[in-house]
Chains A and B, each alone.
Chain A
Amino acid sequence: MKQIEILVVGGGPAGLCAALAASSLGAKVLICERDDHPGGQLVKQTHKFFGSEKQYAGDRGFQIGEMLLEKVKADENIELWIDTTVLGIYEDGIVTCEHDGEHVKIKPERTIIATGAAEKFLPFPGNDLPGIYGAGAVQTLMNVSGVKPAERVLMVGAGNIGLIVSYQLKQAGVDIAAIIEGAPKIGGYLVHASKDVRSGIPVLTSHTILEAYGKDRVEGAIIAKIDDKWQPIPGTEQDIKCDVICLAVGLSPLTELCWQAGCEMAFIRELSGHVPIVDDYLETTVPGIYVAGDVSGIEEASSAMVEGRLAGLSAAASLGYGKEEAPELQKAAMAELDELRAGPMGERIRMGLEKVAAKGGAK
């Protein structure tokens, strides 16, 4: 059995920042990451990030990931296990994982769950045809494996992910037939949308996909305009030829481990699914188990990094580390989160978090 002070599950921006923060106060940390390359979603992001300088805005996602990873590797308090999937958390606090092809048990004093999110899928006729992918898979093919994933793509979803992945596809020389969005408004940042449109990619709001067709794989899709009750308007159908349909219809928090550990959960629409109830320090209702990043509500890498920092500081402080400096640092992290969420784009998150607090989270 492996003993450790703090176990971090997931090596995305939230997990890496959690480990660095906990270590900065002196705690010993183990990170378990199921992929062979830590960084989470950041690994696939070739675009420049938003947010403020404090969260490395203006740098590209993968560069931020590399930078965090180098810091983690150079940190003597942090051990990093890659190719390690955490399978279960039991009530006695024992965590099981698959590490180097073996089943390993870990006994951590504190656990920070930073497992991120999973992509949502969309039901429509023909959605089982080869050639229909989630945006994450397309990004991995393109930005990690260096494969041109298609000749011509229909993108479904005009949130930031749909807008950004369309741009990246276009950069890779792929033609984008259109970005369609069911809602009447573009959900992602308008600067991303304008950048796509001015590159010749139309964004069609109030449009949905009726069906995908093709013999052995996707050859095209029928799309149509929808009314304000989300019903297709007859006569507005369009036949879009494409060899890939890419779905960017949202993410939901990857919370299996939270459920298993017995954390109290709540369905909060604004946070994109079931999320654990947490207090101001990101501790769940199970003492000693913390969460950070998309697992506690779909947001951004910028906020995931700050949440990671806050959870890491809090977990380390609860073990008695950093008595002097921890409160100050925790306060600074909370203020940074407030700042990021202060604008209209943060309204959804603010509403979601208020609901979490109302369910008995915040102390």
Chain B
Amino acid sequence: MLINDGIPTKEDLAKVMPSPERLAAGPVSIAECFQNIPCNPCVKACPRNAITMPNSINDTPQVDHENCNGCGVCVGKCPGLAIFVVDMTYSEEFALVKIPFEYVPVPEVGQMACGLNRSGEEMGWFEVEKVISGGKKNKTYTISLKVPKDLAMEVRNIKVGGYK
């Protein structure tokens, strides 16, 4: 369970998953943030106001998946590195997964990086499609990874270094 080992369960994830229809319609953000903590940079980050906290800063973020266009701005702004963007329409075979990343070295576009799941287990090697720097002050990178569709909801990190 999340509270014992830090790994969200299927039930946890089901609560924040966009609908299959929405996933089939293009990139969309998934906020894997399940605890009522006093935090809200995600709300301020979204240019479309798609993330809200109806009652207070202690709410968990509510993402309006219909309004979200998957731009990924929130991914690099969340201090908990808890928001990801998944694009199931990237190609026939691959989904694109946008992952926040704060380690060095940062992989380069075109390199292969080892993907990790929510337990830190290796899931295979995936091509880095895009790397966006969070800028001098923010520093969090957003890495776009080409992941086979059946692993798009598993891969949530990359292993530091050893890129090929």
Q: Which residues of A contact B (CB under 8 A)?
A: 47-53, 57-60, 63, 170-171, 184-186, 189-206, 302, 339-346
B18 to chain A, nearest CB (A): 19
- In the complex, the answer to whether A190 meets B6 with C-beta atoms within 8 Å is yes
B47 cross-chain contacts in A, Cβ below 8 A: none
A284 to B85, CA, bound (A): 50
Q: Is the CB of B37 within 8 A of A343?
A: yes
Partner of A198, one of B33, B41, B56, B120: B120
> B46 at interface (Cβ–Cβ under 8 A)?
no
B38 contacts A345, CB within 8 Å?
yes
The residue that A185 contacts in the complex, of B3, B45, B137, with Cβ under 8 A, is B3
Are B7 and A343 in contact (CB-based, < 8 A)?
A: no
B48 contacts chain A at the CB level, 8 A cutoff:
no
Tell me if B120 and A199 are in contact (CB < 8 A): yes
User: Which B1-43 residues have a C-beta within 8 angstroms of A?
Assistant: 2-8, 32-41
Residues of A within 8 A of B117 (CB): 198
The digit string for B112-130, where 1 denotes a CB below 8 A from any CB of A, is 0000111110000000000
> Is there a chain A Cβ closer than 8 Å to B139's Cβ?
yes
Q: List 29 A-B contacts (CB under 8 A).
A: A50-B79, A51-B39, A53-B40, A57-B39, A57-B40, A58-B41, A58-B45, A59-B137, A171-B104, A185-B4, A189-B80, A190-B3, A191-B82, A193-B5, A195-B80, A195-B81, A197-B6, A198-B119, A198-B156, A200-B116, A205-B5, A206-B4, A339-B38, A339-B56, A339-B57, A340-B38, A342-B57, A343-B58, A346-B38
Q: Is the CB of A344 within 8 A of B120?
A: no
**Complex Cα gap A53–B45 (Å):** 11
| B120 touches which of A57, A171, A191, A197 (Cβ 8 Å) | A197
Q: How far is the CA of A185 from the CA of B48 in the complex (A)?
A: 36
**For residue A63, which residues in chain B have a CB less than 8 angstroms away from its CB?**
137
Pick from A191, A195, A201, A302 the residue with the most CB of B within 10 Å: A191
Q: Which residues of A contact B5 (CB under 8 A)?
A: 186, 193, 197, 202-205
Chain B: minimal CB distance from A202 (Å) = 8
The interface residues of chain A, by DSSP majority, are classed as: mixed
CB distance from B59 to the nearest CB of A (A): 8
B110, chain A: closest CB distance, angstroms: 24
Closest to A201 in B: B120
B144 contacts partner chain A, Cβ-Cβ < 8 Å: no
Interface size band for B = 35 or more
Q: Is B142's CB within 8 Å of the partner chain A? A: no
A48→B137 contact, CB < 8 A? no
Residues in A with CB closer than 8 Å to B138 are 48, 58
Q: A198-B156, A203-B5 are in contact. Are A58 and B77 (CB under 8 A)?
A: yes
Q: Which of B6, B78, B82, B120 is in CB contact (< 8 Å) with A186?
A: B6
Most buried by A among B6, B57, B77: B6
Q: How far is the CA of A278 from the CA of B82 in the complex (A)?
A: 38
Contacts of A53 in B (CB 8 A): 40-41, 44
In the bound complex, do residue A170 and residue B116 qualify as a contact, i.e. CB atoms below 8 Å apart? no
Closest to B83 in A: A191
Which of B6, B33, B58, B104 has a CB less than 8 Å from the CB of A193?
A: B6
Q: Which 5 A-B pairs have the closest CB atoms?
A: A343-B58, A191-B80, A193-B6, A48-B79, A200-B120
**In the complex, B93 has a CB within 8 A of chain A:** no
Closest CB-CB distance, B102 to chain A, in whole Å?
A: 6
Say yes or no: A189 contacts B37, CB within 8 Å: yes
Task: Check if B118 sits within 8 Å of A205, measured CB to CB.
Answer: no
* Nearest CB in chain A: distance from B47 CB, A: 15
